[in-house]
């Protein structure tokens, strides 16, 4: 539907300042991935009232897909070899976990909840810095064996994040609080 090629890096989530999509775009450009045949597909809804400057002048190899329905989002994750997030704050990191569940190798920032979600099943960088993100992207795009191994580890790790597990954990917390009362 979107005519993406065989080498896709995905960046998914609500587009708003804290997601730092411009850092992902800068990293993609800095790494020279378009010249190596990779595309960066950015997908998500725009936060109302936010109009990022990059939307008017996308660099070569960068595609803006906008908001995607569930089926198209699954297809994007299925097509992507790598998913990247430059956000320095996530309550959980749902899009990172979705990408992992789809078998994408992930690159994300090692802050807030992301290290708990990603663990050792992805590449974590210290901060949302285009140079750090570019280095991680270069390593993964250049090493298909590592990329495949991380994708498999990501899928296995994401399988542990279920709604049943969340409900059981929440119940345990309530039981502990009630036992102390």
Q: What confidence tens digit (pLDDT) does each residue in 40-59 have?
A: 999 999 999 999 999 999 99
Q: What confidence tens digit (pLDDT) does each residue in 100-139 have?
A: 999 999 999 999 999 999 999 999 999 999 999 999 999 9
Bin 102: left if φ > 0, else alpha if -120 < ψ < 50, else beta. alpha
Q: Decide: 59 and 29 in contact? Cβ < 8 Å.
A: yes
* pTM: predicted TM-score of the whole model, two decimal places: 0.92
Q: What confidence tens digit (pLDDT) does each residue in 153-167 have?
A: 999 999 999 889 889
């Amino acid at each position: 539907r979107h005519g993406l090629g065989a080498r896709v890096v995905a960046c998914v989530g609500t587009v708003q300042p804290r997601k730092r999509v411009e850092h992902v775009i800068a990293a993609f450009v800095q790494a020279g991935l378009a010249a190596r045949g990779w595309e960066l597909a950015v997908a998500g809804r725009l936060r109302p009232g936010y109009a990022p400057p990059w939307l008017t002048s996308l660099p070569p190899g960068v595609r803006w897909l906008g908001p995607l329905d569930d089926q198209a989002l699954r297809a994007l994750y299925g097509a992507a070899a790598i998913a990247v997030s430059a956000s320095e704050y996530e309550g959980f990191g749902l899009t990172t976990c979705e990408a992992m569940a789809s078998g994408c190798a992930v690159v994300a920032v090692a802050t807030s909840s992301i290290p708990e979600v990603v663990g050792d099943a992805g590449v974590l960088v210290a901060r949302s810095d285009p140079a750090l993100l570019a280095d991680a992207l270069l390593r993964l795009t250049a090493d298909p064996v590592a990329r495949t191994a991380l994708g498999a580890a990501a899928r296995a790790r994401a399988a542990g994040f279920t709604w049943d597990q969340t409900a059981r954990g929440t119940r345990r917390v309530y039981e502990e609080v009630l036992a102390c009362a």
